[in-house]
Structure formats: structure tokens, C-alpha cells
Amino acid sequence: MVTGGRRTVLVARLDNAGDVLLQAPLVRAVAHGADRVVFLAGPAGAEAAALLPGVDEVWTWSCPWILGDPPPVDAADLAALTARIRELAPDEAVVPTSFHQSPLPLALVLRAAGVPRISAISVDYPGALLDVRHRVDDDLPEPERALSLARAAGFELPPGDDGRLAVRRPLPPTGREPGYVVLHPGASVPARAWPADRCAEAVEALADAGHRVLVTGGPGERALTAAVAGSRGEDLGGATSLAGMAALLDGAAAVVVGNTGPAHLAAAVGTPVVSLFSPVVPAARWAPYGVPTVLLGDQDAPCRRTRARVCPVPGHPCLTSVTPADVVAAVEKLVSG
């Protein structure tokens, strides 16, 4: 375990909120061996980074080689980031990435900024860019994959830490009696979304089964959540911060959601998940971690492991094969279990 000496550690994860939430065990391990943890996040992940126990400061930067809608490469922007890191003068950096992302471009920036020790998972030869080049089995769940990097860098979880996902507490009050079901119809990647009409039918079916249903979504999803909630669900589209969403999920008996950020937020507050999981990425890596989960969706569909953002198969069969009755049965299983 890291002791003494290493005061400031920069952790960088530059994609989406769900990806950042999956770094929680790694962050806690790093924080246990450091005096200060600065988290470098992308615009979509910064709010999630602020929720992670162990993070002391969050920086936001739009990365041109990670984001799905990347900004152009700007030499002045790269120079400004390099200068800012040089001023911070971290003792080391830990760069967790997904299996399809390379840490090496950022490692080059970090090295140019004078960071003396850099650790990352890298399939590619890193030359002088990494001090700890870690390699892992890519079928590990993402939180375990990241934690293995922390350990390779010399950081261990504190005693008694079970390595699950977590967020800072206390969470804001919701003003609601716990025990409702949350249905989150949106997804950051269209191929991972259950069709809106099925979501609306599921709200009706859950209400018929006696459940209070809250329908959640981001500010840009208000039309979707209103259509899905109908007259039987409570429409909360765009009504909460990420911390407020965490509080809502914390009070839920179960959450119905695709493979997107709120699935990992639900896991981080310990709430069971009905996971409408499109197999464009493997469930072994990306399913909700550490909580009771019912996985719905055809995991052998033709889109399997394509990493497609838009479904490449007519009719979106991996998820249209799931019925509202399937969702109700899955919720009942989790609630009664």
C-alpha cells in the first residue's frame, strides 16, 4: 500500500457519468494512499465525479480522442491543460480507461506537464509514457478492472471497504415515501434504449400491479418522459440534479433502466436493477455491479459486441423482445427477494 510521500494524485476518466461512477472503488483506493485526489473528467462526467467519495477536486476538460462528439484538436487548449497540470504538480496520475480506449494520448500530455509517475492499462506499447503498464482480462467487470489498476499502481482499498460502487452521503431529501419503482427510458446511446412505446406500456403494467412509478430523465428528455409517464406515472424528466437522482434511486424498491448512467447510479446507492441490456457491449463488463439484478434482453442477438451506437438490426430485436409483462415479473422478483 502507498504510504507517505505521495500527496496529490490525479485520476482521469474523460467519458460519461456512468463510466465515472464505475471508478468509485479505484478512487477510494487512491484516496486511501494519497492526501489529495483531483479528478479530471469530461463535461458529461464531472457531476458524477463530484459524487465519488475520496475526490477532493474535479476538473472538467473536453477530450478530443474520447468523447463521442469530440471537439477539434486545439493546440492552445492542449497547452492550457498541460500548463494547468504542471501548476498542480501531482505526484502521480492514474488513468483508468475502457478496453477500447487508449490512455497514451493523455499520458503524453501528463508527461509533458512533468507528472513523474503515470499508471494505466495499455495494450499498446507505451514507450516512455507509462511507469506502470498494467494488463488485464478484458472480461472483468469495469469496477474490478479499474480497481486492479489502482492495485498495480500501489493503492489498496481501506480496511473494511467491500469494493462496491458508492456515492457521497447524505443525499438530498426527496419528500417521497420510499418503495416506488423508477423507470428511466432514455439512454446516452440509442442502441441501448428500450422503445418509448414499450416503456409507456410498462408504466401502465407496473401501475396495474400496484406500483407507484416515477419516470426520470435528463433536461433534454422531457418530451420522452412525459410520453412514457402518461397519466399513470409521475413525470420527473429534467427535474433533478445527479445527486437528486441518486436520492430518488436510493428510495426506490427497484429501477428499470437500460445500460446507461442511472443503472450504475442505482447500483451505487444499492438499489436492485431491472437491466434492459442491449448486448452491443458485454454484460459481463457493464451490467449493474454489486446489486441484485435481473438482466432482460437477448444477449445473443446479431448486434452482440458490435459497440453500435444505433441498432444495426432492423426492429431492434435484442430489446423489442422484452415485454412489459417481463418487466413486471422482474420487478416482482427483485421486490419479493
Write out the DSSP string of 30-72.
Answer: HHHT-SEEEEEE-TTTHHHHHTSTT--EEEE---TTT-SSPPP
Question: Strand order in 57-60's β-sheet?
Answer: 57-60, 36-41, 8-13, 92-95, 118-121, 132-134
Binning pLDDT at 50, 70 and 90, where does residue 6 land?
Answer: low
Cα(144)–Cα(134) distance, integer angstroms: 13
Q: Per residue in 145-161, pLDDT tens?
A: 999 999 999 999 999 99
- Which H/E stretch holds residue 181? strand 180-184
Say if strands 273-276 and 293-296 run parallel, antiparallel, or are unpaired.
parallel
Distance (Å, whole) CA 302 – CA 311 = 10
pLDDT on residue 100 = 86
Least confidently predicted of 28-32, 223-227, 281-285:
281-285
Cα(211)–Cα(208) distance, rounded to whole angstroms? 7
- Rounded CA-CA distance 206/288 in Å is 21
| CB proximity list for 156: less than 8 A, separation 6 or greater | 1, 29, 32, 33, 150
Q: What is the band of 4 on the pLDDT scale with cuts at 50, 70, 90?
A: very low
For the chain, domains (ranges, CATH) are 8-152 (3.40.50.2000), 180-336 (3.40.50.2000)
Dist. CA 147–CA 141, nearest whole Å: 10
Locus of grid cell 406500483 = 211
| Nearest to 122, CA basis, from 97, 156, 91 | 97
pLDDT in tens, 67-121: 988 999 999 999 999 999 999 999 999 999 998 899 999 999 999 999 999 999 9
Q: Which grid cell sits at 295?
A: 438482466
pTM reported for the whole predicted model: 0.95
25 neighbors 146 (Cβ within 8 angstroms) = yes
Alpha carbon distance 121, 151 (integer Å): 12
Q: What is the spatial distance between Cα 287 and Cα 281, in angstroms, rounded to a whole number? A: 10
What separation in angstroms does the CA of 212 have from each of 199, 234, 305?
15, 8, 35
What is the identity of the amino acid at 210?
A: G
Give CA–CA dist 122/133, Å, rounded. Answer: 6
Q: For the stretch 111-138, what's the b/e string if a residue is b when 16 or more beta carbons lie within 10 angstroms of its beta carbon?
A: bebebebbbbbbeeebeebbbbbbeeee
